[in-house]
Amino acid sequence: MFSQDVYLKALSYAAKAHGEQKTPTDLPYVTHIVSVAMEVQHACEKSSLDEEKANLAISCALLHDTIEDTNITYDDLYVAFSDEVADGVEALTKDKTLDTKQAQMKDSIEKLMNQPYEVQMVKLADRITNLSTPPKHWDNDKKKAYLKEASFILSCLKNSNIYLSQRLEEKMENYKSYID
């Protein structure tokens, strides 16, 4: 299904890169990346992906925030892993030089549409993981916008994996309970 050695290499690399970083709920950041990877692993198993495709998907899941949130660069990932992993993580990275969140999301989706399904799956899994209890400081408008963004992600990437698409639909439906 996937290589444990590849998994452990990517997990160790990501854990070191994220260091003491925390999630919005004050957990070690590694909990987020492992949650995303677990969603991807399940989808790989359900989809019977071959080992090479599963390794790409899981590596990108574990490393998906390294360029965006740490000092790791594309070149670092290229050298440590491969061009496919580096390209995948780069496609999953928001371009923070763009003015608005909408522009960043559009750009991100456009980059992902040029990636293999295995990389697109990570975006679905990331949003599944993020659609848990919203931060207490988010108002209704922020929650609605986040749900709308999830809907956009799903509409663009739903063909990448049926299991993750169904799971994201369920999470979106459940997330509505947080909106007044």
10 Å Cβ neighbour count for 34? 18
Q: What is the pTM of this model?
A: 0.95
Cα dist from 151 to 30, 169, 175, whole Å: 26, 8, 12
SS3 165: helix
What is the C-alpha radius of gyration for the chain, rounded to an integer number of angstroms? 15
- Residues 59/6, Cβ–Cβ less than 8 Å: yes
pLDDT tens track for 78-132: 999 999 999 999 999 999 999 998 899 999 999 999 999 999 999 999 999 999 8
Amino acid identity at 151: S
Phi, psi for 35 (deg, rounded to 5): -65, -45
Q: 1: pLDDT confidence band, cut at 50, 70 and 90?
A: low
